[in-house]
Structure 1
Amino acid sequence: MPATAGTFIIWLHVLAGITWIGLLYYFNFVQVPALGAAASDEGGPGGAGITKYVAPRALWWFRWGALVTWLSGASYLAHGKQFANAFTLGMLGDTPNAYALTIGIGAWLGTLMLFNVWVLIWPNQKKILGIVEATADEVARAKRVAFLASRSNTLMSIPMVMSMIGAHHGFSM
């Protein structure tokens, strides 16, 4: 059976999604706690190596993984003529569309998460990492905003993934 455009799109969506969400979990469960431990270790090497070499590269893959995930997901919905149905949560027709409702919940969560990545997390991480100049107060505020947006994305990731899976497995989660 030859691969279709839809098959390619879904493979791209899954690969990009694994990259995005994998890095989201890495940041929240590995890097942030490790940097906290490094900062409190008076005789240790500190977190400079992570913030200088690892974090910028990981954030590059993180933000582009987020964008490719969203674009490929939107392309998959458009390819199946479900984009409008999904983003209106299946309320376009005379009868509710369970697939569109379920996939639409995931699409909206993914959209909010993409917004967080590009509008809240990345601009604030640039201040935290010293990529752009910021005062100590701006860095402190940036840390709080990036932290809250990242934790929000972590919390939204489970229902987002469940709705993507649920849409293709009987519409129930």
Structure 2
Amino acid sequence: MLDLAITWDWLSFAVRWLHVITGIAWIGSSFYFVALDLGLRRHSGLPEGAHGEEWQVHGGGFYHVQKYLVAPAHMPEHLTWFKWEAYSTWLTGFALLAVVYYAGADLFLIDRNVLDVSAPTAIGISMASIAVGWIIYDRLCKSPLGKSDTGLMLVLYAVLVFMSWGYTQLFTGRAAFLHLGAFTATIMSANVFFIIIPNQKKVVADLIAGRRPDPVLGAQAKQRSLHNNYLTLPVLFLMLSNHYPLAFGTEFNWVIASLVFIIGVMIRHYFNTVHARKGNPTWTWLVAAVLFIVIIWLSTVPKVLTGEPKAAAAAQVFTASAHFPAVRDTVMGRCAMCHAMEPSYEGVYFAPKGVVLDNDADIADHAREIYLQAGRSHAMPPGNVTQISAQERALLVAWFEEARQ
């Protein structure tokens, strides 16, 4: 059993590392081509069919790039396809979802205080929601609404806000954010697999057959590529959020996730505008900063809005606090079965992240982590498997805040 646990942990690390590597490759190529497309210059003297060109310098040399909006007159001898980065990113991401959240569903996926279901049911809901997301998105793009970029983006944002809320009604906060990221990333990958690459293959086939390609194919691919560009930064946030319980484990986590999409759009709008040489909209950074401050406030929002009692303040030192005996009992009863030198929780063989909480000194040393992970947020215990109560969480908050005064 010990060997299996170690092997599984290393498998998780390997898949996560591979996911990061492929994600960097996909994001890098995506950002580059959008910047290239926006920076194209149009002038007389371009070859027939050329939409624009750009000169670039990098790595000690110069690059002369020309773009054909539909297709060149003749099929080039060498053609590089950019698709495997997207496919590999999705495949490794799904593998990571299976290794961490499906295999550890009772600990990481299911919160029985939110939705009391079996592991197979939770996994089925997870897979179905991810697949349905692409179907809804694709239908919207192909509907008459798809002809209006602004209208389409507003409706799509409404869908994402609904899913932000919906996932928090199904899974743990951590899993909710991860699934929202997977929901969005699936749309992005499916755009490449079902629209962008097939359309490009149709263009190539038309060229080989001597037919003029339909310009609608290029327009569709460009629209989906632009969507992918604007969705990238929010997905990155959601994929990294499992390290930050104040983002996913607090009362208004779904609002935080919704605001992150706006921040991502603001940042991409800035870079896209600059790349297109249409100005320097620094106001987007101000909007992003203000929204981020709102997110910080939402993560520690006054308890009067959540119906939870406010914490009191009294003592100066963690172990000297009048609350400490009760805090010790709470930690020992709710946390120490995993966070101990010899964990007793089934399937846990080492204290997660090396955090040991089975004595007074260690509890005091990790007071801040306890406050953030189990007091201010609901990140710990995962899925609230040890049934820590709202009163106990309030106790942890009171203990930490009074000791800090």
Contact kept, 8 Å, 1:116 with 1:150, in 2: the verdict is: yes
Deviation by residue 1:129-148 (Cα, 9 ceiling, x = unmatched): xx21165461x101110110
1:153 equivalent in alignment to 2:155 = no
- SS in structure 1 at match of 2:245: coil
Check if 1:66 corresponds to 2:86: yes
**For each residue in 1:9-66, what CA deviation from the matched residue of structure 2 results, as whole angstroms up to 9, or x when unmatched?**
0110000001111111111111x235x42xx333357669656488x42x3xx31111
Which residue of 229, 237, 243 corresponds with 1:162? 237
Alignment partner of 1:106 is 2:181: yes
Alignment CA distance shift 1:171-1:137 (3 Å): farther
Per mean C-alpha deviation after superposition, the further-off stretch among 76-85 and 147-156 is 76-85
Which one of the candidate residues 33, 41, 44 is aligned to 2:43? 41
The equivalent residue for 1:22 is 28
Greater helix share, 1 or 2? 1
What RMSD in Å do the two structures reach over aligned CA positions?
A: 3.0
Q: Mark the CA change 1:168 to 1:113 in structure 2 (over 3 Å): closer, same or farther.
A: same
Q: What SS is found at the alignment partner of 2:83?
A: helix
CA–CA separation in structure 2 for the residues paired with 1:100 and 1:119: 27
1:171, distance to aligned residue in structure 2 (A): 5.9
Q: 1:22 to 1:159 in 2, by over 3 A?
A: same
* Cα pair distance change 1:53/1:27, threshold 3 Å: farther
The Cα offsets for residues 99-121 of structure 1, whole Å up to 9 and x where unpaired, read as 11000010011100111001111
Point out where structure 1 has 5 or more consecutive residues left out of the alignment: none
Aligned-pair CA distance for 1:75: 0.9
User: What is the aligned partner in structure 2 of residue 132 from structure 1?
Assistant: 205
Larger radius of gyration: 2
Q: 2:46 and 2:213 mapped to 1: Cα distance?
A: 26
- The one-letter amino acid paired with 1:33 is L
Cα deviation, residue 7, structure 1? 1.0
SS in 2 for 1:124: helix
Counterpart CA distance in 2 for 1:33 and 1:81 is 39
Q: Unaligned 5+ residue runs, structure 2?
A: 1-5, 54-63, 68-75, 103-108, 110-122, 130-166, 248-255, 257-405
Say if 2:121 is the partner of 1:115. no
Select the residue among 4, 10, 15 that pairs with 1:9.
15
Match of 1:78 among 89, 98, 113: 98
What secondary structure is seen at the aligned counterpart in 2 of 1:23? helix
Task: From 138, 144, 148, give the equivalent of 2:219.
Answer: 144
> Counting strand residues as a fraction of each chain, which structure ranks higher?
2
Distance 1:49 1:81 in 2: 44
Which AA in structure 2 matches 1:165?
Answer: L
Contact 2:206 2:212 in 1 (8 A): no
* Alpha-carbon distance in structure 2 between the residues aligned to 1:171 and 1:74: 25
**Could you state the TM-score of these two structures normalised by the residue count of structure 1?**
0.76
The match for 2:261 is none
C-alpha distance in 2, partners of 1:170/1:86? 21
* Structure 1 CA distance for aligned equivalents of residues 228 and 38 of structure 2: 17
- 3-state SS in 1 of match to 2:205: coil
Q: Which has the higher contact order (CA 8 A, sep 6+)?
A: 1
The answer on whether the counterparts of 2:101 and 2:175 sit within 8 Å (CA) in structure 1 is no
Distance in 2, matches of 1:9 and 1:63, equals 20
